[in-house]
Amino acid sequence: MSELVLEGEVRAEAGVNFALIKYWGKAPARAAHEANLPAVPSLSLTLADLGTVTRARFAPDAAEDAVWLDGERLAGEPLRRVVAVLDRIRSVAALRSPFEIRSTNSVPTAAGLASSASGMAALAGAAGRCAGLDDPARVSELARIGSGSASRSVFGGWVAWDGPAARPLHPEDHWDLAVVVAIVSRARKKIGSRAAMNLTARTSPFYAGWVQQARGTFDEGVRALAERDLEGLVAAMEASTMRMHACAMGARPPILYWQAESLAAIHRVRALREEGLMCGWTMDAGPNVKVVCEREAQGVVVEALSEIPGVQECMVCLPGPGIRVSLGRSEG
Ligand code: PMV
């Protein structure tokens, strides 16, 4: 085993992302480092201002990895997911030392924007850099081991993921869109994305159809994005979202993330379109609804969604940069 590559501290900051074209389903993994390889291609937008800051350093004298999230020491399954990423870093870099990791999230958990995506991306960026691994595709692969969608948070702006690592498609200033998140519930979801997608793959009769159509919907989304065709992007995004949720609803026991207020928000988006305002909705593994629109239309969308009984809050999110890694201690 070689010497430690870096003795100081590394700070990495990553933003959350949300999927326009959904990842739902994993390819079979024959080894730990093949975890979370996607069964379908996905397309996402990395967001500004919401994310995770992680500080990593080697702790050669410690007995094991020590990880803190928002000041609390991790244990159990959340710790195991982090250690899976650290184990892969040690294996690739031929190192043995435990790490000390401290992370802070700036994502309100109520927003239903996966903080695990920014968290695992920042972890891979910071701990990877400690071990001399800083190629973005390599960092994306490392992040993916912790959480599939985290592979996309390594890159800024518009990102595609259809293999071991995600890849950037367009920078954050490619298109002036906004995402309005309508928060309808702050309750913790009953079934997380990992368990839900595995249950779907095992038991939903619609899963094979979902996988089979995914490439076509992805290609549609990629084309619409390149051409800044909002109507085309919305059509692909809503098809991907509907099919993902339909596929999950077909599982045994069925998985249902939607609430009455989610459906009310969806109908409101459809009404806005009929009134002439182009916008589209999507949902992930939770009841909150995300609406994509031109930036200049965000005020109208916020107003329309805020009027729905049961919508507790609307949050506006904008495209953001990829991971930022720096050496040494700094504030943030
Ligand atoms: O990578 P995970 O386990 O957070 O799964 C993400 C699943 C969805 O958010 C529903 C879709 C996606 O592509 O992000």
Residues 6 or more apart in contact with residue 57 via CB below 8 angstroms: 7, 8, 9, 10, 99, 100, 130
Which pLDDT tens digit goes with each residue over 27-39?
A: 999 999 999 999 9
Segment 97-120 shows an average pLDDT of 84
Q: Strands 99-105 and 66-69: what pairing?
A: parallel
Among 167, 192, 205, 207, CA closest to 43: 167
**CA distances, 90 to each of 32, 48, 169 (Å):** 13, 31, 30
**Residues lining ligand 1, CB < 6 A?**
19, 22-24, 42, 114, 116, 147-149, 193-194, 284-285
Structure tokens at 46: 């990395």
Evaluate if residue 332 carries a pLDDT over 80.
Answer: no
pTM of the model: 0.95
Among 249, 152, 133, CA closest to 191: 249
**If you search the block for the tokens 């994305």, which residue do you land on?**
193
Centre of ligand 1 from the C-alpha of residue 181, in Å: 16
How high is the pLDDT of residue 298? 98
Question: What ligand 1 atom has the least distance to the C-alpha of 285?
Answer: 10
What atom in ligand 1 is closest to the CA of residue 244?
A: 10
Task: State the average pLDDT over residues 261-273.
Answer: 98
Query: Which among 279, 12, 17, 289 has a CA at the least distance from the CA of 160?
Result: 17
pLDDT at position 302 over 60: yes
Distance CA 29, CA 257 (A): 27
Instruction: Report CA(250)–ligand 1 centroid distance (Å).
Output: 18
Q: From 40, 45, 217, 284, give the residue whose CB has the most ligand 1 atoms within 8 Å, as the site to mutate.
A: 284
pLDDT reported for residue 331:
44
Torsion angle, alpha carbons of 150, 151, 153, 159, to 10 = -130
Q: How far, in Å, is the centroid of ligand 1 from the Cα of 120?
A: 13
Selection from 35, 66, 45, 76 nearest residue 180 by Cα: 45
Residue 5 has pLDDT above 80, yes or no: no
Closest CA to 40 of 232, 258, 201: 201
Cα distances from 148 to residues 66, 116, 127, in angstroms, run 23, 9, 18
- Whether the per-residue pLDDT at 110 is higher than 90: the answer is no
Report the distance separating Cα 305 and Cα 310, nearest Å: 10
In Å, how far are 45, 50, 187, 318 from 173, measured between CA atoms?
A: 11, 17, 34, 10
Ligand 1 atom, smallest distance to 44 CA: 13
Residue 309 Cα to ligand 1 midpoint, Å, equals 28
Amino acid at residue number 241:
T
Tens of pLDDT, residues 56-67:
999 999 999 999
Query: What tokens does 25 get?
Result: 């389903």
Q: Which pLDDT score, from 0 to 100, does residue 330 have?
A: 47
- For ligand 1, atom 4: residue with the closest CA: 149
Rounded average pLDDT over 201-213: 98
| pLDDT at residue 3 in the model | 57
Residue 282 has pLDDT above 50, yes or no: yes
**pLDDT value at position 111?**
57
Q: Which residues contact 26 (CB under 8 A, 6 or more apart)?
A: 35, 36, 37, 38, 39, 148, 197, 198, 201
Residue nearest atom 6 of ligand 1, based on CA coordinates: 149
User: Cα of 193 to ligand 1 centre, how many Å?
Assistant: 6
Check: CB of residue 148 under 8 Å from CB of residue 163: no
Helix (H, G, I), strand (E, B) or coil at 329: coil
What are the tokens at 319? Answer: 């495209």
Confidence category of residue 109, pLDDT binned at 50, 70, 90? low
Ligand 1 pocket test, candidate residues 23, 44, 237, most atoms within 8 A of CB:
23
What single string gives the DSSP state of each residue in 152-197?
A: HHTS-SEEEE-SSSEEEEE-GGGS-EEEEEEE---SPPSS-HHHHH
Atom of ligand 1 nearest to the CA of 150: 1
CA of 116, closest atom in ligand 1:
4
pLDDT tens, position by position, 6-28: 779 999 999 999 999 999 999 99
pLDDT for 112 equals: 63
pLDDT higher at 328 or 263: 263
Average pLDDT over residues 252-263: 97
Closest-lying ligand 1 atom to the alpha carbon of residue 18:
14
Distance 275 CA to ligand 1 centre (A): 32
> Amino acid identity, residue 110?
A
**pLDDT tens profile 72-87:** 999 999 999 999 999 9
Encode pLDDT of 148-197 as tens digits.
999 999 999 999 999 999 999 999 999 999 999 999 988 777 888 999 99
The CA-atom distances, in angstroms, between 282 and each of 70, 93, 270 are 29, 39, 12
Ligand 1 mean position, distance from CA 63 (Å)? 33
- Per-residue pLDDT, 144: 98
Token pair, residue 21, equals 């074209």
For tokens 């988006």, what's the residue?
A: 269
91-105, 134-148, 205-219, 318-332: segment of lowest average pLDDT: 318-332
**pLDDT tier at 108, thresholds 50, 70, 90:** low
The token pair at 300 is 């109208």
Cα(19) to centroid(ligand 1), Å: 7
> How far apart are the CA of 98 and the centre of ligand 1, in A?
29
Q: How far apart are CA 126 and CA 147, in angstroms?
A: 16
